[in-house]
């Protein structure tokens, strides 16, 4: 069964600090992995997408890494801002079908 | 550019009442369309997807149904709502490489 596990479930960080979110998956065959940011009460918005051959991808202060051998990904947030408070969802796409595998999300709260 | 709309944004309905949520996409033709539900503290659950007009695939047996009367219109319905239908409903378009989500509808069933 294709599964995506994210950790930690939630965390609180001080504004200006860095944090790293983890995603482990068992999806096979693998097509791509995407990190979404979902603000409360809004739809998810894509931050990064990585295919099998990509190890790292950045989008501003967000940097995602992928280790396809160990089936792990991380999302690093640098110099966090209050607007980074959101749920970050790891989504893995199996090759050849439309059924994406979703993690439950990492709930990040940035405090001043 | 492509845009996806959902309405209403929020909805409060009594148990046993009917439901109709609408999703429309602009700027693309013959998109794959999806309905997801997101319950509190849980991941997104795929409810229905459609690859074309009148073509609906159901992922989870329940009292909800979906229809696609036009190429870029996707409707989620129910004849009688249950308390367990409360949640955040998201429409999305796209495919295996990427899916783009709408703003969502917050449904509360009382």
Q: Give pLDDT, residue A61.
A: 97
What are the backbone angles phi and psi of residue B53, rounded to the nearest 5°?
Answer: -55, 130
Locate the chain A residue with the closest alpha carbon to B5.
Answer: A43
pLDDT tens sequence for chain B (110 residues): 889 999 999 999 999 999 999 999 999 888 999 999 998 778 899 999 999 999 999 887 678 999 999 999 999 999 999 999 999 999 999 876 788 999 999 999 99
- Please name the residues between 52 and 91 in chain B that touch chain A, using a CB distance below 8 Å: 59, 88, 90
Instruction: Please list every residue in chain B whose beta carbon sits closer than 8 Å to the beta carbon of residue A95.
Output: 96
Residue A108: which pLDDT band, with cuts at 50, 70 and 90?
A: very high
Whole-angstrom distance, CA of residue B64 vs CA of residue B19: 9
d(CA B82, CA B43): 20
How far apart CA B93 and CA B8 sit, in angstroms, is 18
pLDDT (0 to 100) of residue A27: 87
């Amino acid at each position: 069964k294709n599964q995506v596990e994210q950790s930690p479930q939630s965390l609180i960080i001080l504004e200006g600090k860095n944090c790293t979110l983890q995603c482990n998956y068992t999806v096979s065959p693998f097509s791509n992995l995407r990190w979404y940011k979902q603000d409360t009460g809004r739809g998810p918005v894509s931050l990064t997408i990585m295919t099998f051959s990509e190890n790292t991808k950045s989008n501003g202060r967000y940097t995602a890494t992928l280790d396809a051998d160990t089936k792990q990904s991380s999302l690093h947030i640098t110099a966090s801002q209050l607007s980074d408070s959101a749920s970050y969802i790891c989504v893995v796409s199996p090759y050849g079908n439309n059924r994406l595998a979703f993690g439950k999300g990492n709930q990040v709260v940035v405090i001043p | 550019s492509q845009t996806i709309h959902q309405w209403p944004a929020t909805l409060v309905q009594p148990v046993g009442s009917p439901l109709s949520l609408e999703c429309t996409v602009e700027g693309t033709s013959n998109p794959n369309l999806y309905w997801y539900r997101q319950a509190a503290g849980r991941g997104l659950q795929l409810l229905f997807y459609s690859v074309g007009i009148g073509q609906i695939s159901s992922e989870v047996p329940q009292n909800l149904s979906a229809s696609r009367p036009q190429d870029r219109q996707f409707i989620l319905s129910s004849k009688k709502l249950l308390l367990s239908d409360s949640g955040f409903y998201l429409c999305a378009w796209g495919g295996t490489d990427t899916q783009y989500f709408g703003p969502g509808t917050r449904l509360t069933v009382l």
